[in-house]
Every structure is written in structure tokens, then in C-alpha cells.
Amino acid sequence: MDTLLDLFKFKKIRGKLFILTTVITLIPMLFISIAVYRISADRLMLKAEEQSFAAGSIANQYLDRILVDFRDLFNVIISSSQIQCTLTGSSDQVCQNVQAANDESDYSYIRNSYRINNAMNTITQSKSYVVRYVIYHMTAPPEWRLYGTYISPSEAEDWYKELGENNMPLIRDGRSLDQNRKENGEMMLVGKLLKRTGGDFEPLGFIILEINKERFFEGFSFLNADEKSRFMIADKDGKLLYSLPNANEEKEMNAALYAAARQANPHAGQFVSINRQWMGAVQQSQLFGWSIMHVIDAGSLSEDARSIRTIIIWIFIGTLVFGLLLANWISGTIRRPLNRLSLLIKVNGSIDPPSIVRFDEKDEVGQIGRRFLRMIDENKALNEQVYNALMKRKEAEIHALQAQINPHFLYNTLESLKWLAFSRNQPDISDVIGKLGKYFRLTINKGNQTIAVQEELDHALAYFQVQNFRYTDRFDLIFSFEDDISRYLVPKFIIQPIVENAIYHGLKEKEGQGTIVISGEVEAGILSFRITDDGQGITPERIKEITDALDAEETSVTYGLKNVHDRLKLGFGQGFGVSITSEPGLYTTIKLAMPAIMESGGAAHEPNDAANDETSGKGFDR
């Protein structure tokens, strides 16, 4: 259970990847499933509607055909010469073969009945749905007006009156000409006015046909109606005449559905909902105004859509399970190398990493792990190098302490020679030996690498005095400082090598007296020294050569300048060091730039800041 909960811990990489993969799988599949289901359901519903309208259209066409046939049947009966001649008593050329009797006798009525019955049998012999008929002759005596099946005179009068008013066929559904069973749901009566076919087309009476609805509508069996797909046929007044399926147990259901459909008031070509369970469409015949309604179980319309929904749900569940398994596997492939890397970092303090840690070089995390292993090996090598360097540094310090013995010995020796020369009345030699001794004493400086500015200037002055003694006072040394900078600390031996270069490369070959000016200032935390001589100067080409040599790794040019430049740059960073300006035949100025560091340990300007600040070298010529 805890392992399963770990998969959903968002703080862990495995949980993040697991949730991410799950969401990427779940959300698109959810939307796709809903969209596919809705589109499928809509398409299937539309297709079902089209099929329903198509079935209704075919049924309506068939209804038109049987109604046309039914209308033609009436026309054949009305236009029958035997019936017309019998009822009109005409003796024209058409009726000459019919022995019309002008006498009003029972024999004449029987003869007429025989002729009409014979004509009706001939006409309706192919119409199995015609069960009985009545022909009413209004101009005959009351007792001889009815032919065929008997109906009461009052009923006949009602028929005639209504047919005369409407001049349209009349339908009595569920009625029969059988006097013993006038109410019969399997039958319907259809009546039409019977007129003369010649002359003034005056009404002669009417004709009523009793129709067996089962036989009349039996041609609709091709529709394959069932409990989910029903058809209802209604007359022009909307009264239900026939329905499919026509089993007794289905008739009540059909009647209820038709009543509900009538309340929905569907129009031709419109698909409407009926009681939320059924869908119905109606189409109307143009002949008698009859209509046919097709009602479909709404559940059957969406049955395929439900099947698709079930399939989509199972696909969704399968995809979700597969996505969860895939997310677990993918997160595991990332988690395992990260765990190995974490284990490696935890044991990094040990000298040898565990041999069980293995990384796949094709995996990004594995590449990091392999690089970390290499870093461990490199750190071991660097530790060894640092250790060796520290050992060598200790040895160098020991050698440096030992090397201080030689300047001490030389300094003591020079002091002895100074007093010897003084005792023998050689003041010049005594003075120069004293200055040379002072130079070596400043060189020792108790082993410190930084000294005060004043001590560095004293060291440069001692060196100058020795050289000036050698060249018989050919040179002058001038110190020019506007501010007191004697309290600042500088690396030792940074001015003396510049003074030495000024004497040997600037003033030595000059005729006459030469001058060296040393000036200094502090500005924006930068301590600058300028050592200027009025010697022969340096050409621009030579300046470029010297400048390039200062920044080179190794060079044999300008050893003293490069030594000073490297020590300033390595000690304080980029932006500090040596720069040169010169005018051939006039002067040469060497500028030294470094942070202004106080004797108390404070700094007027941090070295690192100066090293990184391109604008900090104000006045620093490049």
C-alpha cells in the first residue's frame, strides 16, 4: 500500500513523472472518448432518422398506390354501364343491351338487383378486401332503393345527406354492414356519392363498401414492423385506422402511442420525441389526406451508440491501466539511476566508491553518474596534487628560510667593510657600502611578501644610490606624492625593478644628466605608481612587443617587468598590473596599478571587485 501511495507523492521525481504520464494519458483519452461517443451517437441518430424517413416514405408511397387503386375501384363501380343503365332506366345506345324495365314491380327490382349484384361481383372479384356493399337509389320507391346489403332507411338517409353536403368519400372506421355486428374493429365503411355518368351528372344515390382492413393493408407487411418499429395509418381527420404490428396485444399499445404522438403535434418531415422513450415521424398522402406515422423505440436508435460507448469505456479503462503501468515503468527507469546517483553522492566522502554502482552511458542520468565517478577520480588526483604541492611549499619555505642566511651573512659582511672603510678614512666607500647593506637588509624584510609603501620606496632609493655612486652622480631621483600613501601595503620588489630598467634602458645611454620621477596616488580604491624617466624612450612597435610579452605565458623579453606584472595580476586579478606609455627621445612612463590596502588590514578597494570592474582602471593605460 505504501508503495502505491509513493507513486502519487508529488515531491518525488517518480511521483511527478507518474502523475504527469497519467494525466497525459487520462485527460486526452477522456476527451477523445467523450467526443467519439457523442459524434458516433449523433451520426447514428442521424442515420436512424434518415432510415426512419426512408421507411416512412416507402410506406407512404405504397399507401398512395393502394388509395389510388381504391379510388379507381369506386370509379369503375360508378361508371359501370350495367349499374348506370339499371339505376337510370335509360334506353340509349349504351343501354340497349340492358333490358331496362320501366315498370315498378317486384320482378323489376329483383331483376335490377341481379344485374347490380352481377356487376359488383365482376368488379370486386379481385378485391378480396371488399366484404359487402350497399347501393342506394334515391329516385326509386322507398322499398326498392337498396341493393346489396340491407341498411335501415334512416341510416341511408343520413349517409346520403352527409355525402351530398361534403361531396367527398366518407369513412366509418370500426363499423360493419352486418346488422348483427355493426361495431367491428376489423372493418371500415367507405361511402361515395353515385352520380349519372352522362347528362347533367345528377346524383342517383350513393355506394358503400365494407372493407376488411387486415386485407386492405396487408401489403404493408414488407415494412417488417415489430415492437420497436411501429407504423400507424390515420385518416384526414387524424383518426387511427390501422397500425402495425397488428397483433391484438399490440393494438392497445399502438393506440396509446398514436394518442401521445398526436399530442406532440408532429409535422410532415419532423422527427419528434414521444414520452421520452419513442421517436416519431409523420408523412401525409396527397390523395385522401391520410397520413402514415412511423414510431421507433428511442433505445433502439441509440443501441449502436451504447455499444460504441461500452467499447470506448473498456478501451479507456485499458488505456488507463496501460498508462499507469507505463508511467510506473518509465518513472522507475528514471528513479533507479537517480537513486544510484544519490547513493554515490552519500558515499562520496569515502575514498573508494562502492563497486556495485553502475551507470548506463546511454542514459542522461547515467552520463551524469559516470561523470561524477570521473570527478571523484579527478578529485582524488587533485587531492594528491594539492597534498604534494603543500609538501613542496613546506620544503620551499624551509629553503627560503635557509636562503635568508646568505643575505644576513652578506649584510653583516658589508657592515664590517663599511666600518673598515670608515676607519681608513674612505667615507665614499663607507657610504656606498652602507647603502648596499641597507638594500640587502630591506630585501630580507623578515620573510614578509608585502611591505609598506615607505619601505618599498626606501628600498628603491637604496638601490638608486648604489647605482648613482657607480655612474658618478649622473642621475637624479625625485619623489612626487600629493597625498600621504606611506601607510598602504604593496608587494615588495615592484618599484626597484622598474627603477633598474629606467637606468639601464633609458638613462644609461643618454648624454648628460638623467632624471627619474616616482609619483603615486589613490583614486577610487586604486593605488597607482608612475615611474617616469627622461631617457631615450621606446618606439610604439617595441611597446606593443613588450605589452604582448607581459601577457604571454612564457617569454624571455622584459624579465623584470613581466615578474612585476605577473605578481600584481596573480595577486589581485585582471585589471591590475603594468602598463607602458612612451615618447621616443622624450620620456618613458611605467604605471603600476593595484588595490589600495591599508596597513591595518582594511582595504580601500576590494581586489576581486577591481579585477572584475572594467572601469576600475581609471588612468591605467593599455
- Report pLDDT digits (tens) over 224-264: 888 888 888 888 878 888 888 888 778 888 888 888 877 77
The verdict on residue 311 lying in a domain is no
Which residues, listed in sequence order, are joined to residue 528 by a DSSP beta bridge? Answer: 521, 593
Q: What is the pLDDT of residue 229?
A: 82
Q: How confident is the model at residue 34 (pLDDT cuts 50, 70, 90)?
A: confident
The residue among 166, 200, 220 that closes a domain is 220
* pLDDT, tens digit (0-9, with 9 covering 90-100), for 404-459: 445 544 555 555 556 556 666 666 666 666 666 666 665 655 556 788 888 889 88
Evaluated on CA atoms 475, 487, 494, 402, the torsion sign reads positive
Average pLDDT over residues 132-160: 88
Q: Which residues pair with 532 in a beta bridge?
A: 517, 589
What is the C-alpha separation between 95 and 487, in angstroms, rounded? Answer: 159
Q: Are 252 and 386 part of one and the same domain? A: no
471 and 522 housed in the same domain: yes
Can you give the pLDDT at residue 350?
52
Rg of the chain in Å (alpha carbons)? 65
Residue 243, SS3 per DSSP: strand
Indicate whether 84 and 52 sit together in one domain. Answer: no
Neighbours of 194 (CB within 10 A): 24
Are 103 and 238 members of one domain?
A: no
| % of the chain residues with pLDDT over 70 | 71
Q: Which domain holds residue 588?
A: 449-457+466-612
In a domain, 3, yes or no: no
Last residue of a domain, one of 220, 251, 278: 220
Contact between residue 418 and residue 430 where contact means Cβ atoms under 8 Å apart:
yes
| Average model confidence (pLDDT) across the chain | 76
pLDDT at 419: 58
pLDDT tens for each residue of 46-65 = 776 777 777 777 888 888 88
7 part of a folded domain: no
Please count the structural domains in the chain: 5
- Considering the domain architecture, whether residues 488 and 512 belong to the same structural domain is answered as yes
CATH value at residue 140: 3.30.450
For the chain, the residue count is 622
Residue pair 494/510 in contact by the 8 Å Cβ criterion: no
Quick one: 209 and 87 in the same domain? yes
Per-residue pLDDT, averaged over 295-308, amounts to 72
Residue 16: C-alpha distances to residues 10, 28, 118 (Å):
5, 18, 97
Q: Are 302 and 41 in contact (CB under 8 A)?
A: yes
* Confidence label for 520 from pLDDT (cuts 50, 70 and 90): very high
* pLDDT at residue 199, as a whole number: 73
What proportions of the chain, in percent to the nearest 5, are helix, strand and coil?
55, 20, 25
Q: Is residue 338 part of a domain?
A: no
| 330-382: pLDDT as tens digits | 767 766 777 766 766 766 555 455 555 566 666 666 667 677 777 777 877 88
Residue 498 shares a structural domain with residue 601: yes
Q: Which three cell numbers stand for residue 181?
A: 355486428
What pLDDT, on a 0 to 100 scale, did the predictor assign at position 258?
83
Is pLDDT at 533 greater than 90 in this prediction? yes
Same domain for 61 and 32?
A: yes
pLDDT at position 443 is: 60
316 domain residue, yes or no: no
Predicted TM-score of the model (pTM): 0.47
Report yes or no on 18 lying in a domain.
Answer: no
Same domain, 33 and 100: no
Which of 85-99, 229-243, 311-325, 378-392 is the most confident on average?
229-243
Element holding 171 (H helix, E strand): strand 170-175
Does residue 238 share a domain with residue 190?
A: no
Flag whether 326 is in a domain: no
Q: What is the CATH number of the domain that holds 487?
A: 3.30.565.10
Long-range contact pairs involving 171-178 (C-beta distance under 8 Å, separation at least 24): 171/235, 171/241, 173/235, 173/239, 173/240, 173/241, 176/131, 176/132, 176/210, 177/131, 177/132, 177/133, 177/134, 177/149, 177/151, 177/208, 177/210, 178/132, 178/149, 178/210
Local confidence band at 479 (pLDDT 50, 70, 90 cut-offs): very high
Residue 272 DSSP code: E
Tell me: pLDDT of 581 over 60.
yes
Instruction: Confirm whether 140 is domain-assigned.
Output: yes
* Judgement on whether residues 439 and 471 belong to the same structural domain of the protein: no
DSSP code for 221: G
d(CA 253, CA 242): 12
HSE, CB side, 13 Å, CA atoms: give it for residue 557: 12
> Once rounded to an integer, what is the mean pLDDT over residues 267-286?
73
Instruction: Say yes or no to pLDDT of 109 above 80.
Output: yes
Same domain, 506 and 410: no
Which of 387, 402, 417 is the C-terminal boundary of a domain? 402
Q: Give the mean pLDDT of 59-84.
A: 86
